[in-house]
Structures are given as C-alpha cells and as structure tokens.
Amino acid sequence: MTTDIIRYIELKNRLFNKKYSSIYEIFLIITDISEVIVRKEKKAAFTIDNLQNQGVWILGQSEYLEVFIDESQEHLQTLNDHLMQLEKEPEDISIVGEIFRSAHTLKGMGATMGFEDLARLTHNLENVLDLIRHEHMSVTSHVMDVVFESVDDLEEMITDIAGGGDGSRDVSEAVQKLEVLQSGEDKETAAKSEAAAAVHVESSQDTDNTAVSESYDEYERTVLKQSQEQGYTPYKLEITLDEQTMLKAARVYMVFDVLEQVGDIIKSTPSADELEDENFESSFVITVISSVELEELRQRVLKVSEITNVSVEVVNVDEPAPATDNGSNDTPEKPAEDASAEKNEQQEDAAKPAKADKPEKQNTGSKKGSELNKTIRVNIDRLDVLMNLFEELVIDRGRLEQISSELNNSELNETVERMSRISGDLQEIILNMRMMPIDQVFNRFPRMVRSLSKELGKKVNLEITGAETELDRTIIDEIGDPLVHLIRNSIDHGIEQPDVREAAGKSPEGNVHLSAYHSGNNVFIEIEDDGNGIDQEKVIKKSLENGVVNEEDLEKMNDQQIFGLMFASGFSTAQEITDISGRGVGLDVVRNTFETLGGNITVNSVYGRGSLFSVQLPLTLSIIDVMLVEIGKEKYGVPLTAIVETAIVNKNEVHSAHGQKVIDFRGNVIPLVFLNEIFEVPDTETAGEDEYYSLVIVSKGDKIAGLVVDSLIGQHDVVLKSLGSYLSNVFAISGATILGDGQVALILDSNALIK
Amino acid sequence: MAVETAEGYVKVIVFQLKDEEYAIEVDDVQSIEKMQAVTRIPGVEPYIIGVMNLRGVITPVMDLRKRFELESRPYDEATRILVLKRDNSDIGFIVDGANDVMDIAASNIEPTPEVVGGVAEEYLRGVIKLEERLFTLLHIDKILNKQDDKQRSGM
C-alpha cells in the first residue's frame, strides 16, 4: 500500500512537471494506478469492491464529482457523435479509435469515482470496440444497436449521478449483449482466444520474430517511458498455462504475485477482471516494469506450476513496433495513430496532419478539445448572480441618466455618458457569457432520429445546419422538449414509409432539415421535412369537430392561419395514437413554451410535399429594448422586437369596419387597438382632444395591429422582471421593469393584443 | 407554523384596519413600509391595487380593506404596507397603520367567534384576547388564495 502511495505521489509530481493540461489525462493515469492497486487487493480477496475505496482514497469524491459529471457528459456526447459517424462510414476505423478513447476515459473516471456499474459496462463496451478497432469484428447494424443501447445506459447512469444518485443500474442485460457480441465474433476469428491480445499474437506472428505483441495507449506508453527513464526495464511476457489447469485464475494470481515481487504490472491482456473470471483460453500477456534481468524474470515466472511457456521481451518504448508489410493497418501501427490523434487533440491542432485525409470529420472532435483548453467552467449560479447585479446597475444607470439630464451639468453629463457606454459594453459581454451554441440542444437529435426511424421502420436522414448559433442559456434550457416534440412529429406524421415514398416518386429516404440562424434580435429555428405534408382539409375538419374554430372565422383565414390551428389547445391530428407522438402533449404545449419565452411558431406545408415549422425566439430574455409609451398617466413598455414602426395618424384617416376601427397603413388595412380601453386606464380625457393618434405598429407573425397610445416617450434598455407568482397570467402584460425614477412600468405582451 | 418564543408564545404584528386591530405572525412579515407609489395593473382583481418597486423587486400590493370588502379610505401618513414573504415571492398588504409587535401566549388565542366585524370568517384563524384589547389573527394563505374567494368579482 505504501509503495503505491509513493508511486502515486511520484507520478503526480511527474504529471505536474510535465504540465499536463487536461484533467482527464490525470484521471487516466490515476485510473491505471488504481488498477494496479486493485490488482494487489485482489490477490487477497477476489473482490472489486476495493476499487471504490481506493478510488475514494485517491480522489475526494465529492470534490471531483462535478468535474466528473461534466467530463462524462462530454465524453458521452463524443461517443454518440462518433458512433453516428461510424455508422455512416463503417469502414473508417480511425473513428473507432476516438470512440475507444472516450469509452476508456469514461471507464477510468467511473472506476476512480467508484461507480462500479458504469465501469463494468464501459469495460465491456471497450472490449467490443477493441475488437472493432483491430478489425476482428465488423461494424454491423446489430453491433451498433447493442453499442448504442449501452451508451443509453451510460447516459442514464450519468444522469442519475448528476441528480445525486449513486449511478447504480442493472447493467447485466447490456453487459450480456456485449459479451455475446465478443464471444460470437471471436468464434469466427481464427484464434479462438477471447481476448484481443491472443489474437494480436497470432496475427503478427508471421512478420514479427517474436510471438509477443501488445498495443499500448498513449498514457501507457508514457508510464513505460518514464519508468525507463528511472532505470527500470519494461518487459512483455506472454505466459501460456497448461491446458489441463483447473484453477486458471489461481495460477494467474500466482504469476501476478511473482511479478510484483520484482516489479510493477502496468498492463495485462486480457484485463485483470477477465483473468479473474478465467475468461481466457490458455495464454495471456503481461507488461511489467522491473529492474531484474530478462532471464531472471522468466525463471521466476516459470517457477509457478502448470505454466508451460513464458516468452519475455523488452518493450521498445521509444518507437512503435515496425509496421508489417502486408497489413498496413495491422496492430502495431494503431497505437501510434491513436497517440498522434490524442496528441493533436490536446494540442488543439485543428489541422490534424496525421489524419489529413479526413480533416473535416475530425473538426468536431478537435473543436471540443480546444474548447476544453480555452475555457474555464463557471457555475451558472455565479453567472446568474452577476446578471442580477448588472440588472441593478442598469436600473441605477437609468436613474443617473435622468438626474444628469435634469441637472444639465456638462461634466456630469459627460461622465454619465461615458459610464453608459461602458456599461453598455459590459452588458454585451455579460449577455454573451450566457450565450451557448444551440448545438447543446441539437446534439441529441441525431441519436433520437436514428432510434425513432428504426422503431417506425422509416428511413430518415437528419441534416443539421447552424448548430453554432448562440442563444441565451435560459432559452436553451427550455427549448429542448418542444423541439423534440416537433422533430418526433415530423418523423412520425410527416415522413412516410419507404414504400409509400417510392410510390409517390420520392427517394425512399426521408429528409428532415433542422436549421438555426440569427436574424436581427431573434434566432430562428426551422424544422423542414419532405414528407407527406399537412392535409389542410383534415385540419379544418378536426378544428370544427373539436370546436377550435367556427366556420365563420375559418372563411377569413389564410393557409398559414389554418395550419396554425394545429397549435390551438384541444387539437390533435394524429389518426392513430402512436408511441412517438400523441402522448397527450399537443402542439399547443409546444406553442405555449415558445410564447412564454417571447417567441412564436408558425407552420407552412404543401400537402404531399412536406412541411416547415419555423420557430422565432428572442436572443436573450432579461434585458430588452422597449419603446416607452404613455397612456393617461401610466407608462408602458412595448418590446422593440415586436414593433414594426411608430406612426402618427390624423383622426380622420381612421375608418370603421364591422365596429372595428382600422386605418390604411401602407396599403394594408390594420386594426387599431385602443390601449386605454383595454387597460381601463383612468384619466384619459386628453385623448379626446387631440387631432392625431400616436400609434405603435406591432406585428405577430404576418399579422399587424396599431396600438393607440397618448404619447411616445422613447427607446430604453430595461430589465424585464417578472410580476411574481402571485400575479401570473395578467392579460397582455409580460412583466414589469423599474424605470430610472424608481417607478414601475409594465411591459406589454403585444402578441396577446393581436388576434 | 406558529413560531413560538419562550414557552408557548407567539410574536405577532398588530395592525389597524378600519376600527379593529388585527394580527399577523411576525415570521410571515418581511418588512413594514410607508405608503409609496404603486403602479396599477390592468385586469386583475380589484383588491390588487398594483405593483411597487421594493428595493428593486417588483412586489404586488393588495389593499386589505378592499380584500375584506370594507369601505375604502384615502391613504394617509399612518398607512403602512406590510410586506409578506410567501412561496419565494413577496406581497404587500396595505393596512391603516401598524400599531405594535407583541408576544402573545398561545393560550390567549381563541377560536373565532361566530360574528366578527365585517371580515368574512374564512380569513380568520382565531381571536386574541389581551386585557381590554382584542385582535383578530388572520389566515394569510386564505387571503392570498384567489380560488377560495367566493365573493370574487367576475373578472
């Protein structure tokens, strides 16, 4: 135990000397150490429980839990991304290397933090990936399904851990499936050994003179290299047990015991777990660092009974084993490739010379790597506090601006102006800090679409553009579920079965295009599919049946308004309730979510050709630009995002149509909304005397209306505050703000005023 | 929910409404403010007179006279706003005046008698008798609950 601690400290110092940039590398090394420790523990008792204790011993659990969760989620995402990529290009084995590394890191972190089920599942996942990586298993749809399932399990475990759980989960089914994969595939390979190592041996036997072959990861090589620098020699031992051996695991432990008397075990293939379970045929490979001579080592191991053969070789750490002539992609080259990939990622080298032939595919990966290095993690609570403080500042800024304009002192004016400018910049930075790429929401969709289309027997190609578009975090947090709903809808109701599509002259594979882009102060998200589109007749019939609309109103509606009926509450077009959509949550909930966020949703469709759902969202929620208006003695703010323009019209330009006052505005007849009537504003006697109306023209989608106010005060940046839970659902009021003079002004929700 | 000081004592704030004294447990009260500018909110219950800016927090304000359907009276120097903290949001009660903070023995709290002033019985939690004074202990949750308001004007 003490030697381990010393070893740990030594390694730690080395790590710091080398200035390793990413914490995950530290995790990797620590994991290896913990594996060594665990192996020692296992000599005494065949239990994995100690792993947890050792893990805790090495890293204070709670202290690192947050980091663990964050990094795990990142690795899960990398796993998902690369798996999707692999499925598209099953031949590209280099992707498997990336996947393998993520899985391996996850395993290491999981074991270190003491999450056994997670470690166990990733371990098995890793084995399967290893077989794929070494081309002993081909990437079939079935293999991918099993791998995806286990990634799902992993995700749930991490979610559980993030939610304060212990991350335990029944992984036996997933593990079993993975094991079946491993054994099933192995039977087909020439070598009947279960583990990759034995396979390596055989595949490289004809070209290499030695029978011992082993592949090392970057960090393993690092450890080996460092040990060599300290005067130890790394050895590879291939040990073959007698076929008749009854207690293979016992022999293995005797070998481990012998080796650890003279050195440290760095790696074994198969892994210690598998050796313990006697999950191997008769031979296994161990990598040891030791100061004793090669022959002595061999003799020591041979003293263990029932061992028929031991072949020992010094590991050449500096350069990977020479590539074989026949198979350029053979095992020895793999570690080098992986190593270079990893190094590239650390060095955030987007160009990736080692993989120059496929630079684009690596972009996401390398981007992630660079983000890791260039960012710091800040708890969102702190950002919220910062935001709140800044809001206070904005209020005081308004007050100061007002005072200075009243005092009319040029020096004060100058200073206040300067301060306003700086705080404006500050505001931009703070708001930007809260911005996150919408990829945070989008990145889970490829997986979802994949499993959905499988489930429904449809072929769907999901294309995503503009995933880098940034949105305020609070909005990002909210839009996930409604977007899921919309995409499910598109695939479930929009995209047809392949045979139906072919009959309609379309390609059997349906397309769903998810895009996001900025426009002005808004972000637009569009979901377009080339499926069946929406049957307008059906929408009309259903709306009338469910009393969503009456015939009279219906006649006045244009196409888009009719499609818009689908978002009314009490409407559902699903003919048959499927598992995918129609779970009782209708499109009205989707619309509500977007509207609460200050956005809206519209739909357009050509029956038989496809449909387009377009969502408009504000960039940010808390600080908004408003036009302050006065009605009677009350001040209201109209969000600038809703305003088309302001106008002053003569009273004799106002006409009356069906009891509704309207004006002719640039060729359009638009209704007037008298805010003093709607808000029952007292003391508006002045309004009657004026010859003109002051109008704020607002829009909602393609509908416009003119809000009649007494006067326009001007444009202001204000902090939108909620009216509190006691006053939820006030008609046409979305919140309030505090003006420079300390008064409260209400913010209009113009969407509610346009019918 | 009554936080008891010493043995079986409840600390209350005593306030004036029309010609009677009422009490609210002090733990419910966040602060007592002088009357200040209130911005009217259109289309809400008539007893919610609007929102005020309470040190940067938008706080709804309710006129307790209107809530209990007592006759209105102009606000004056004595008028106070009792700010209560409820479910993470504040709400202000306009009262005619805040009179006292007192420790009341729990034994002094008696169930509400059949008829008390003009305030509907459902808002009351009990009556406190103390020498010659009589306070009515209010049931805050009932006052805040719009659904339970049977006399609610058809908004």
Residue at A318 is within a domain = yes
The candidate with the shortest Cα–Cα distance to A137, out of A199, A211, A77, is A199
Q: Are A145 and A267 members of one domain?
A: no
Between A348 and B57, name the one with better pLDDT.
Answer: B57
Residue at A346 is within a domain = no
Per-residue pLDDT at B118: 54
Partner-chain contact A724 B91, CB within 8 Å? yes
Between A61 and A497, name the one with better pLDDT.
Answer: A497
Q: How many CA atoms lie within 13 A of A642 on its CB side?
A: 29
What integer is the mean pLDDT of B78-107?
A: 85
Mean pLDDT of chain A: 74
Using DSSP's 3-state secondary structure scheme, residue A199 falls into helix
CB B95 within 8 A of CB B41: no
Q: Are A386 and A441 members of one domain?
A: no
Chosen for mutation from A394, A722, A726 (greatest number of chain B CBs closer than 10 Å) is A726
A416 close contact with B: CB closer than 8 A: no
Q: How many domains does chain A have?
A: 5
Per-residue pLDDT at B50: 92
Reduced to 3 DSSP states, what percent helix, strand and coil does chain A have, rounded to the nearest 5?
50, 20, 30
Q: Are A20 and A160 members of one domain?
A: yes
Domain harbouring B20, CATH code: 2.40.50.180
Q: Dihedral, CA atoms, A562, A568, A572, A578, nearest 10 degrees?
A: 120
| Cα A383-A387-A388 angle, rounded to 5 deg | 120
- Token representation of residue A239: 């040990």
- Name the pLDDT band for A193 (thresholds 50, 70, 90): very low
Residue that finishes a domain, picked among A566, A599, A618: A618
User: What ipTM goes with this model?
Assistant: 0.81
What integer is the mean pLDDT of A395-424?
A: 87
CB contacts < 8 A, A to B, total 69
What integer is the mean pLDDT of A255-281?
A: 79
Per-residue pLDDT at A583: 43
Per-residue pLDDT at A513: 92
Check pLDDT > 60 for residue A324.
no
B37, B58, B88 member nearest A723 (Cβ): B58
What integer is the mean pLDDT of A446-464?
A: 87
A719 close contact with B: CB closer than 8 A: no
A736 close contact with B: CB closer than 8 A: yes
Q: Are A665 and A740 members of one domain?
A: yes
Residue at A338 is within a domain = no
| Cα A741-A742-A744 angle, rounded to 5 deg | 115
Per-residue pLDDT at A517: 87
Chosen for mutation from B55, B62, B89 (greatest number of chain A CBs closer than 10 Å) is B89
pLDDT in tens, A557-601: 878 788 888 887 767 655 444 444 444 457 778 888 887 787 788
Closest approach of B58 to chain A, Cα-based (Å): 6
A392, A634, A681 member nearest B56 (Cβ): A392
Which residues span the domain enclosing A494? 437-618
Residue at B153 is within a domain = no
Which residues span the domain enclosing B19? 4-144
Residue at A353 is within a domain = no
Residue at B30 is within a domain = yes
B35 close contact with A: CB closer than 8 A: no
Residue at B59 is within a domain = yes
Among the residue ranges A87-96, A332-341, A397-406, the one predicted with the least confidence is: A332-341
Mean pLDDT of chain B: 79
A716: annotated active-site residue:
no
A730 close contact with B: CB closer than 8 A: yes
- Token representation of residue A406: 């009243």
Which residue spans within A632-691 are E strands per DSSP? Answer: 634-639, 643-650, 655-657, 660-665, 668-674
Check pLDDT > 70 for residue A1.
no
Q: How many domains does chain B have?
A: 1
What integer is the mean pLDDT of A345-365?
A: 41
Distances (CA, A) of A732 to A38, A218, A589, B119: 65, 61, 19, 33
Domain harbouring A113, CATH code: 1.20.120.160
Residue A235: strand pairing partners: A288, A314
Residue at A312 is within a domain = yes
Q: Are A498 and A603 members of one domain?
A: yes
Partner-chain contact A680 B52, CB within 8 Å? no
Chosen for mutation from A744, A748, A749 (greatest number of chain B CBs closer than 10 Å) is A744
Residue at B150 is within a domain = no
Residue that finishes a domain, picked among A597, A618, A639: A618
Partner-chain contact A727 B51, CB within 8 Å? yes
Q: Are A609 and A631 members of one domain?
A: no
